[in-house]
Amino acid sequence: MIQKPKGTKDILPSDSYKWAYVEEKAKEILENYGFKEIRVPVFENTELFERGVGDTTDVVQKEMYTFLDKGNRSITLRPEGTAGAVRAYIENGMASLPSPIKMWYMMPMYRYENVQKGRYREFRQIGAEIIGTASYKADVELICMADQIIKKFNIPGVTLNINSIGCPVCRKKYQEALKAFIGSNIEKYCDTCKTRFEKNPMRILDCKEKKCKELNQGAPVILDYLCEECSTHFENVKKALEKLGINYVVDSGIVRGLDYYTKTVFEFVSETEGYTVLAGGRYDGLVEELGGQKTEAIGFAMGEDRLIDIFEKYNETNDVKMRVPDLYIASIGKLAEEYAQDLALKLRKNGIYVEADICERSMKASLKYADKTGSKFLIVIGEDEVNNKNAKIKNMATGEEKEVELNIDEIISKLK
Ligand code: ATP
Ligand code: MG
């Protein structure tokens, strides 16, 4: 038997309704904040991610699905959504549209990861980007929206951690201090950290290796090095969140895994599961880095697979259920079968979920199947019922039976 590749999953009909629910509710919130959907290619030119995500990041150095296509171009399956969204923004001249641009996406992403709980090679993200504003108010609005999305799904034990990682100006001073701290021990760090020391020492703080984490204890924190502008920006964000009643914890350890971040960064962490469900931050330099005009922006991405895993745990008894038929029509004899088919078709055109036999089942087997589908109502028709245009409709939950005239309006009114 051919099996699915490691790190991928099948979302089966018995589960897909939960995904549809989460996506529908998330979409409602995103659209209420004025975000519009963007869809970008599954694959891009590799250079986009090398430049956009950063060539000293884990994603680019270790996790990308990169290959040469038949025309010898280097192609990469998108590992994240922001680079593609920003490329599309620049390439399609969206800078000339009324600003800011607010966009959302729900897309699968591809990373060659160590597969474990909450960490897959194909996974889905729900993301949002605001492009074209430097104001702290955009940070606040985006974090509020993320908070609302997380709260919508009744997940307990989620903490909002925030930090500021400054701008290139304050980061320059900070990186010097960081290099001075790490430098004396650099031989003890992992090989990846060694390669990052010169080019991007802040990446070393995000290393997941145990020994590197230990060596990083006591490292200088960026918050002590923020320039005045970055510091004011961060204070404004915190004050506004407090005013809006959104609880947060300042975690000076957040540096984020992608190079493009500046100023505000944040993560919604599930304490019970021990992983991040939603993460984001400001990326004021990315549009320019990818060839556009200098344009400030901020965004987040939520790990939908992780959200669903937690959602399932805590929402077993709520009303998110797989849809069951409103009505099953069982029929005996050729005339009734044809009649049932026609009736089913008409009811479906009126928005009713109807099942009728398409397996040539016996009446007994049909009734058994109707029961298994969890159908709410049952109508059994034979030749008499067709001729009299009258049948019995049974409420499957209570067992109660009523007479019903076999016309669409009558049936629909009985279903309600
Ligand atoms: P981590 O530190 O967990 O590797 P990251 O910094 O790589 O996260 P981002 O690139 O910011 O994550 O992605 C945003 C969110 O997408 C994460 O917080 C997580 O919920 C989800 N995510 C990231 N990688 C995976 C994966 N391999 N499988 C499932 N979900 C993922
Ligand atoms: Mg990662």
Q: What is the pLDDT of residue 316?
A: 66
Q: What are phi and psi of 80, to 5 degrees?
A: -160, 170
241: tokens are 């969140």
Would the CB of 303 count as within 6 Å of ligand 1? yes
d(CA 136, CA 133): 9
Helix (H) or strand (E) holding 107: strand 101-110
**Per residue, what are the HEC states of 280-327?**
EEECCCHHHHCCCCCCCEEEEEEEHHHHHHHHHHHCCCCCCCCCCCCE
Tell me which residue has its CA closest to atom 17 in ligand 1: 303
Residue 109, token pair as written in the block: 């992403």
- State if residue 259 touches ligand 1 by the CB under 6 angstroms criterion: no
Q: Whose CA is nearest to atom 15 of ligand 1?
A: 303
Task: State the distance from the centre of ligand 2 to the C-alpha of 269, rounded, in angstroms.
Answer: 14
What pLDDT is recorded for position 279?
97
Q: What is the structure's pLDDT at 321? A: 86
204, 212 contact by CB (below 8 A): yes
Task: Tell how far the Cα of 207 is from the centroid of ligand 1, in angstroms.
Answer: 14
d(CA 403, CA 193): 76
Question: How far is Cα 307 from Cα 286, in angstroms, rounded to an integer?
Answer: 27
Is the CB of 108 inside a 6 Å radius of any atom of ligand 1?
no
| pLDDT at residue 317 in the model | 61
Q: How far apart are CA 246 and CA 171, in angstroms?
A: 28
Strand order from edge to edge, sheet including 401-405: 354-356, 327-331, 377-381, 390-395, 401-405
Q: What is the DSSP string of 17-81?
A: HHHHHHHHHHHHHHHHTT-EE----SEEEHHHHHHHT-TTSHIIIII-EEEE-TTS-EEEE-S-S
Bridge partners, residue 276, by sequence: 269
Mind listing the pLDDT tens digit of every residue in the chain (416 residues)?
Answer: 999 999 999 999 999 999 999 999 999 999 999 999 999 999 999 999 999 999 888 899 999 999 999 999 999 999 999 999 999 999 999 999 999 999 999 999 999 999 999 999 999 999 999 999 999 999 999 999 999 999 999 888 999 999 999 999 998 889 899 999 999 899 999 998 998 898 888 889 888 889 999 999 999 999 999 999 999 999 999 999 999 999 999 999 888 877 788 999 999 999 999 999 999 999 999 999 999 999 999 999 999 999 999 988 887 666 688 899 999 999 999 999 999 999 999 999 999 999 999 999 999 999 999 999 999 999 999 999 999 999 999 999 999 999 999 999 999 999 98
